[in-house]
Amino acid sequence: MIRSLRLLAALATALLLGAVAIQPAMAATTANRPTPGPDLASQLSTLLGQLKQQQATVNTLANQVESEQSTVNTLNAKVSADKQQESVLNHQMDQVARIEYERPALSVTTVLDAQNLGELLSGVAQSRVIANQQEQLFTAAQALKAKDTQDQQAAQLQLNKISDQKAQATAIAAKTQSEISDLQQKQAAAAAASSSASTPASTPAPLASAGAAPAVAAGATITLTPGPSSPNRFDPGQCTWYVAQIYSIPWMGNANQWPAGAAAAGQAEGMTPVVGAIMESADSYFGHVSVVTSVTDYNDWTVTEMNYMGPFVQDTRQVSRGSSNLVTFIY
């Protein structure tokens, strides 16, 4: 009986120790579980903020480069003037030395021409004073040139340093811009997949991503050339730049100048919404362009665009003829 009680006590102790050992392991497993990452919209917002700061840094460094370049140019001019002055003084010293060599200060002629000893000594002293002054000026010119040269080299090193920093900042901003473009494409793909799963098959595809032309409805007469434009000469993050990532745009100008540019390029225009058409609207002082991605009827359609809500911000929205600032469609 006593042996049985001892066995039960040992078993209970083992079970208790096992429970204590298992609990920290479970806690560690829970602590090491990866947390869900931020969604695409949050990542995009963060990158846009970073890009804004990086572009501000690039602009600041560009101003510093311009300032340092001006300093270097000024010092280059000073060093050049110092060299010229040193050359002039050196030439004058050579002339004085030549005269002294050809006619020594205490030559027989000098002695005979002197009226008295005082005049003789005065002439010799004056000659020496002039020579000493020339030598002092030459030494001062050399010292000034050496200092200006040192300042010039230091300014050039600073210019090179800031130029390198600007190049690095520009590369970082370009990398961020590339990441933003990738996220925008993922965001567009996710929106398209979500819409495809929740809308009938007959509904035209929504939200085209930058760099890919939207699908054109059967029977539509869209003659725009699928992009992206190469090179895309419009300002990044603007509505014109975004559309030029979808179509190859041969004209330039603000959005309100696109109808004239399209007409000159032979593109058809009209007032009927067609999937794939470029919509030009008077949504800002400079106009606004977007791309039609679906059409409900003559009075209602959907567009994808950029900079309607801010630079680099891509969105899709419903448009109604009565409440829109429609100017024309470009086919």
Beta bridge partners of 295: 301
Q: What is the CA radius of gyration of the chain?
A: 41
Q: How many residues does the chain have?
A: 331
Q: In the CATH scheme, what is the code of domain 204-330?
A: 3.90.1720.10
Cis peptide leading into residue 231 (ω within 30°):
yes
Beta bridge partners of 329: 270, 279
pLDDT band at 97 (very low <50, low <70, confident <90, very high): low
Residue 191 pLDDT greater than 80, yes or no: no
The whole model's pTM is what?
A: 0.41
Q: Compute the average pLDDT of residues 170-197.
A: 68
Q: Compute the average pLDDT of residues 192-212.
A: 47
Domain residue spans of the chain: 42-185, 204-330
Condensed to tens digits (0 to 9), the pLDDT of residues 106-165 reads: 555 555 555 555 555 565 566 666 667 767 777 877 787 788 888 888 989 898 998 889
CA 213-219-230 angle, to 5 degrees, is 25
Instruction: Read off the tokens for 110.
Output: 């000098």
Beta bridge partners of 297: 300
For residues 185 and 211, is the Cβ–Cβ distance under 8 A? yes
Give the H/E segment covering residue 253.
Answer: none
Q: How many CA atoms lie within 13 A of 272 on its CB side?
A: 7
Q: Is the domain 42-185 a CATH 1.10.287 member?
A: yes
